[in-house]
Amino acid sequence: MQERQTKQKAIIYERLKALDHPTATEVYTSMQKDYPSISRATVFRVLGGLAARGKAREIRVAGTDVRYDYNVENHYHAHCRDCGRVADVFLSSTEGIGNDAKVMNGFTVDGYTVEFFGRCKACSSAVKQEKR
Ligand SMILES: [Zn+2]
Ligand SMILES: [Zn+2]
């Protein structure tokens, strides 16, 4: 049993890496054909466990499903308002943001998030085509 669980975890982690910021449902759906024995509950549990152990990141935006990112390096995300897709954003420097907040209200900042919103490439070209 233990061995099987370890194997399932590895399979789910590989699938997470192959997909682009997927939701748990997307991971599960993509695995059904190859691994029909892995249940939806297992996928949710394993992804939650990876996030809890710092092996994956949970991306939460109000009103959308939680997405997972295997890349736990420091980076930010751009969210598509139309399809919900998430793209990576790399900033050269966000140094000072935390310090500015501290100066303004005496609050000691030990973390922050930066989120970008807009339209992904596929959705922007769909909009352009509609306008034609
Ligand atoms: Zn989109
Ligand atoms: Zn990312």
Each residue of 55-109: pLDDT tens digit?
999 999 888 899 999 999 889 999 999 998 999 998 877 666 666 665 566 777 7
76, 56 contact by CB (below 8 A): no
* pLDDT score of 37: 94
For residue 1, the CA-to-ligand 2 centroid distance in Å is 32
Q: In this structure, what CATH number is given to the domain that contains residue 102?
A: 3.30.1490.190
* pLDDT score of 99: 64
The SS3 call for residue 92 is: coil
Whether residue 30 is found in the same domain as residue 61: yes
Q: How many whole angstroms separate alpha carbon 68 and alpha carbon 40?
A: 15
For residue 10, the CA-to-ligand 1 centroid distance in Å is 29
To the nearest 10 degrees (0 to 180), the angle between helices 2-18 and 24-31 is 110
Q: State the total domains in the chain.
A: 2
| DSSP codes joined into one string, 25-40 | HHHHHHHTTT-TTS-H
For residue 67, the CA-to-ligand 1 centroid distance in Å is 15
Whether residue 63 is found in the same domain as residue 96: no
Structural domain boundaries enclosing 120: 74-131
For residue 76, the CA-to-ligand 2 centroid distance in Å is 6
Q: In this structure, what CATH number is given to the domain that contains residue 42?
A: 1.10.10.10
Q: Which ligand is nearest to the CA of 20?
A: 2
Q: Which residue has the higher pLDDT, 120 or 113?
A: 120
Whole-number average pLDDT of the chain: 88
> Domain ends where: 47, 68, 89?
68
Number of residues assigned to the chain: 132
* pLDDT score of 1: 53
* pLDDT score of 106: 73
Q: How many whole angstroms separate alpha carbon 109 and alpha carbon 31?
A: 40
> Domain ends where: 68, 87, 120?
68
Q: Which ligand is nearest to the CA of 73?
A: 2
* pLDDT score of 50: 97
Is the pLDDT assigned to residue 33 strictly greater than 60?
yes
> Domain ends where: 28, 49, 68?
68
76, 91 contact by CB (below 8 A): yes
For residue 106, the CA-to-ligand 2 centroid distance in Å is 31
Is the pLDDT assigned to residue 21 strictly greater than 90?
yes
Whether residue 101 is found in the same domain as residue 58: no
* pLDDT score of 22: 97
For residue 59, the CA-to-ligand 2 centroid distance in Å is 8
Show the tokens assigned to 62. Answer: 């109000």
